[in-house]
Amino acid sequence: MKAHVASVGMYVPQRRMSNSELTELVDTSDEWIYSHTGIRCRHIADDSEAASDLAYHASIQALEQASLEPAQIDLVLLATSTPDYPGLPSTASIVQDRIGAKKAGAMDIAAACTGFVYGVETARAFVSSGAARTVLVIGSEVYSRILNWRDRDTCVLFGDGAGAVIVKRSDEEAGQSEVLDSFLRSRGSGARTLLRPTGGSRTPFVPGETEIESTRLSMDGRRVYMFAVGALTDVVNYLLERNNLTIDQIDHIVPHQANIRIIDAACKRGRFPPEKFFTNLEEYANTSAASIPIALHEMVEKGRLQRGDMVITVGFGAGLTYGGNLIRW
Ligand code: UT7
């Protein structure tokens, strides 16, 4: 059985934070941030909003676009590194309840910025095996809660947001639309290049001893950059080769929206046409697992992504994980 992407939704918090606002928190400038990342602003959740709230809004939009009732969903997959609660319960279960998906299973996917790519492939596998007919795949993040707002190396890079797609068993209506292939990899030897060092079972939070900064995101930016350029190039090439395609047969590449320089460098290294890459990180910064579905949604809204178009998504991030999906939209 084949699976296709039936619809896509997104949600970002109202509050926009510009680069110049960040200059009040850390020693930085709009010029540095824009020239080193391509980011101009990011959206920040208000105190009442958690990952499940952002996910809820994106999911309702995806359900409406697909003309589906919540009870038709068999499985809710939610990719996040910023769950409502640490470890349990899953944020997916909270969303499942809130949208009224009464007949669905629910679980979170922990693959950081590659989480949405992993989610789409998991959904495809469930649908093509016959284990599920309709799967809601969400990427939802509130990185503003896990950043060290005194660390200029990291706090300028991320934003909050959510995106969701419905992956559904293909029927005649779907035409040729299909999730054709995926590529998932992990390089766990790089686990410590991007992490929250304290607060898990390895190094628990000890009241009175643990410094709050060590519970926040910490990153070796240079190493992640090098990894990301290689990963982005490799994923595109692998999916092309395995499917006997050339880059000319691909309409859009939708990379994880981390840094424009990563995308530019991968374009040069892989000799990929830059105009095939969609970017919106200037407005949203890096929303981790949410960045690819937010990009897909904007492409559809702008009429840039049409049924039948060939799309490659590419994720990369903590783990270190990386991967991509080949989709005939
Ligand atoms: O989803 C994956 C998540 N991670 C990423 O995407 C991050 C990947 N890495 C990167 O994108 C880049 O490595 C960064 C954007 C994080 C850093 O850019 P860079 O060109 O590699 O800068 P750098 O780390 O080599 O730092 C250059 C200088 C340093 O100053 P000195 O030592 O040369 O005096 C930094 O202290 O820039 C300084 N710097 C800043 N200056 C102003 C670092 N962050 C800032 C800042 N504002 N926000």
22 lines ligand 1 (CB under 6 A): no
Query: Distance, CA 156 to ligand 1 centroid (Å)?
Result: 10
Q: So what's the pLDDT on residue 221?
A: 97
Q: If you search the block for the tokens 């699976």, which residue do you land on?
A: 3
User: Considering the chain, what percentage of its residues have pLDDT values greater than 90?
Assistant: 98
Mean pLDDT of 280-297: 98
Q: Does position 171 have pLDDT exceeding 80, yes or no?
A: no
Q: How far apart are CA 258 and CA 280, in angstroms?
A: 10
CATH architecture, domain defined by 178-328: 3-Layer(aba) Sandwich (3.40)
Backbone angles phi, psi at 65, to 5 degrees: -65, -30
CB-CB contact of 246 with 240 (8 Å): yes
Question: Which residues carry out catalysis?
Answer: 113, 256, 286
Q: Best mutation site among 20, 25, 36 for ligand 1, i.e. most ligand atoms within 8 A of its Cβ?
A: 36
Distance from Cα 139 to the centre of ligand 1, integer Å: 26
The verdict on the CB of residue 156 being under 6 Å from ligand 1 is yes
Identify the pLDDT of residue 36. Answer: 98
From the DSSP assignment, how many helices (H) and strands (E) are in the chain?
10, 13
Q: Report CA(109)–ligand 1 centroid distance (Å).
A: 28
3-169 and 178-328 in the same fold: yes
- Kindly state if the Cβ of 91 falls inside 6 Å of ligand 1: no
The whole-angstrom separation of Cα 172 and Cα 57 is 29
For residue 237, give the nearest of 261, 260, 271, 264 by alpha carbon.
Answer: 271
For residue range 68-100, list pLDDT tens digits in order.
999 999 999 999 999 999 999 999 999 999 999
pLDDT value for 34? 98
Q: Residue 281's pLDDT is what? A: 98
Least confident of 74-88, 168-182, 193-207: 168-182
Note the pLDDT tens digit of each residue in 16-35: 999 999 999 999 999 999 99
Q: Is 292 in the pocket of ligand 1 (CB under 6 A)?
A: no
In this prediction, residues 292-320 reach a mean pLDDT of 97
For 93-142, write each residue's pLDDT tens digit.
999 999 999 999 999 999 999 999 999 999 999 999 999 999 999 999 99
pLDDT at 175: 76
pLDDT value at residue 172: 67
Helix (H) or strand (E) segment spanning residue 321: strand 321-328
pLDDT at res. 148: 97
**Class of the CATH-defined domain 3-169:** alpha beta
- Atom 16 in ligand 1: which residue has the minimum CA distance? 221
Domain boundaries, the chain: 3-169, 178-328
Query: Please, what is the average pLDDT of the chain?
Result: 97
pLDDT at residue 173, as a whole number: 67
Q: Is the CB of 317 under 6 A from ligand 1?
A: yes
Instruction: Please tell me the distance from the alpha carbon of residue 319 to that of residue 315, in angstroms, as a whole number.
Output: 12
Q: How confident is the model at residue 174 (pLDDT cuts 50, 70, 90)?
A: low
Cα 169 to Cα 174: distance, rounded to the nearest angstrom: 9
Work out the average pLDDT over 206-222. Answer: 96
pLDDT given at position 176: 79
CB 79 within 8 A of CB 121: no
Q: 43 CA distance to ligand 1 centroid (A)?
A: 21
Which residue CA neighbors atom 23 of ligand 1 most closely? 222
How far is the C-alpha of 12 from the C-alpha of 214, rounded, in Å? 27
Residue 34 Cβ < 6 Å to ligand 1? no
Q: Are 166 and 41 in contact (CB under 8 A)?
A: no
